[in-house]
């Protein structure tokens, strides 16, 4: 821990003191588990997760606040989403209390790794895999749930610079009725090739269109997308292939309650996107990150003069303010730990 350079945290894995682990068989209940020293794990080469991608995860953060406390943010929503994802992946579901207690235990044991105020956050990664062997395609018998944590800084290398996105019609992220609305590990492997291609061309991320009509906006890499137009906050509606983000929901609630912006979930076309006043994306990892330009086959469309828009900045300030206890948590979103 002494070696951590708090002033230069990126979004990287930093080994910490401990991690949580529990196992459960098909038809049983998640009930035990505990902390073990952070380290490598042993798996059969035939483990369900390694062969058929039977795994899903969550992402949440612990924040150090101005009151010198450490808080979790809306962890109940992560617990609910984990239940939805595990059901879809035929993994035994865990109840909310088991999930939340495991996250609390892991963060408390690694509390010294929560970065100082304004230096970053502790990213928390609960993940569950099918770990017993299978050669035929089927849900395996045994599952392992782990939680590891890592102190992190900004997700994108240059911090708060507005993103330059690329629309690439050669790829989709996920299909409706597939697993796009679950936090399944396979969704993220599907995004690696388009992401690598976009990055090699100088873009930050890929903006995906829907798999059915190739017309409506979906997600930005691993983040949800928003636009602001004439006092309305508009985001792609959840059509089965979009993840129901915790930050997505929080931003909609803040917009309505604090900024008198109407939150609307809709099918959004590229034309509407290019005509909008501000564009940004949201996620636990990316928080609220402005979008400065979008490139498609016709060229580059600049947005908000490449700067962070006024509403985007306000939404971010309020969200981050609540997470740091600089702004009163009127919504009851914080789970104080210490």
Strand, helix or coil at 57?
strand
Q: Which residue, 227 or 285, has its beta carbon nearer to ligand COI?
A: 285
Q: Can you give the C-alpha Rg of the chain in angstroms?
A: 20
115, 126, 194, 283: which one binds ligand COI (CB under 6 A): 283
Question: Could you list the active site residues?
Answer: 183
Q: How far is the CB of 283 from ligand COI (least distance, A)?
A: 3
Q: Which residue, 16 or 247, has its beta carbon nearer to ligand COI?
A: 247
Contact range with ligand COI by CB under 6 A, out of 37-45, 156-164, 283-291, 306-314: 283-291
- Confirm or reject binding of residue 188 to ligand COI (CB under 6 A): yes
Q: Which residue, 132 or 191, has its beta carbon nearer to ligand COI?
A: 191
Residue 164: which H helix or E strand, with range?
Answer: strand 163-167
Instruction: Kindly report the number of other CB atoms within 10 A of residue 10's CB atom.
Output: 14
Residues 51-110 that bind ligand COI (CB under 6 A): 59
Is the dihedral angle over the CA atoms 217, 220, 223, 228 positive or is it negative? negative
Contact range with ligand COI by CB under 6 A, out of 99-107, 127-135, 228-236, 281-289: 281-289
Q: How far is the CB of 194 from ligand COI (least distance, A)?
A: 15
Q: Which residue, 82 or 140, has its beta carbon nearer to ligand COI?
A: 82
Residues 190-249 that bind ligand COI (CB under 6 A): 222
Give Cβ neighbours of residue 118 (< 8 Å, ≥ 6 apart). none
What is the full DSSP assignment across 87-154? HHTT-----HHHHHHHHHHHHHHTGGGSPPTTT-EEEEEEEEEE-SB-SSSS--SEEEEEEEEEEE--
- Confirm or reject binding of residue 284 to ligand COI (CB under 6 A): yes
């Amino acid at each position: 821990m002494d070696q951590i350079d708090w002033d230069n945290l990126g979004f990287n894995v930093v080994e910490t003191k401990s991690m949580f682990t529990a196992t459960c068989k098909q038809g049983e209940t998640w009930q035990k588990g505990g902390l073990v020293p952070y380290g490598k794990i042993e798996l059969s080469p035939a483990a369900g997760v390694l062969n058929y991608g039977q795994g899903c995860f969550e992402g949440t953060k612990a924040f150090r606040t101005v009151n010198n406390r450490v808080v979790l943010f809306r962890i109940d929503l992560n617990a609910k989403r984990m239940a939805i994802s595990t059901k879809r992946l035929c993994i035994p579901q865990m109840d909310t209390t088991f999930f939340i207690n495991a996250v609390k235990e892991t963060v408390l044991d690694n509390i010294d790794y929560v970065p100082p105020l304004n230096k970053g956050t502790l990213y928390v990664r609960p993940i569950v895999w099918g770990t017993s062997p299978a050669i035929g395609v089927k849900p395996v018998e045994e599952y392992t749930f782990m939680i590891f944590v890592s102190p992190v800084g900004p997700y994108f290398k240059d911090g708060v610079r507005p993103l330059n996105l690329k629309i690439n019609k050669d790829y989709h992220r996920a299909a409706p009725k597939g697993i796009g609305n679950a936090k399944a590990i396979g969704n993220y492997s599907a995004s690696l090739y388009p992401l690598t291609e976009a990055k090699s061309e100088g873009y930050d991320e890929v903006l995906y269109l829907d798999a059915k009509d190739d017309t409506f906006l979906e997600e930005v890499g691993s983040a949800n997308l928003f636009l602001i137009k004439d006092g309305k906050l508009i985001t792609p509606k959840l059509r089965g292939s979009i993840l129901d983000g915790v930050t997505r929901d929080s931003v909609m609630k803040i917009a309505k309650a604090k900024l008198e912006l109407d939150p609307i979930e809709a099918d959004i076309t590229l034309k509407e996107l290019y005509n909008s006043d501000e564009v940004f994306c949201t996620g636990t990892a990316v928080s609220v990150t402005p979008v400065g330009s979008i490139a498609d086959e016709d060229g580059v469309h600049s947005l908000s003069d490449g700067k962070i828009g006024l509403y985007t900045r306000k939404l971010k300030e309020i969200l981050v303010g609540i997470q740091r206890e600089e702004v009163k948590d009127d919504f009851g979103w914080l789970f104080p730990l210490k």
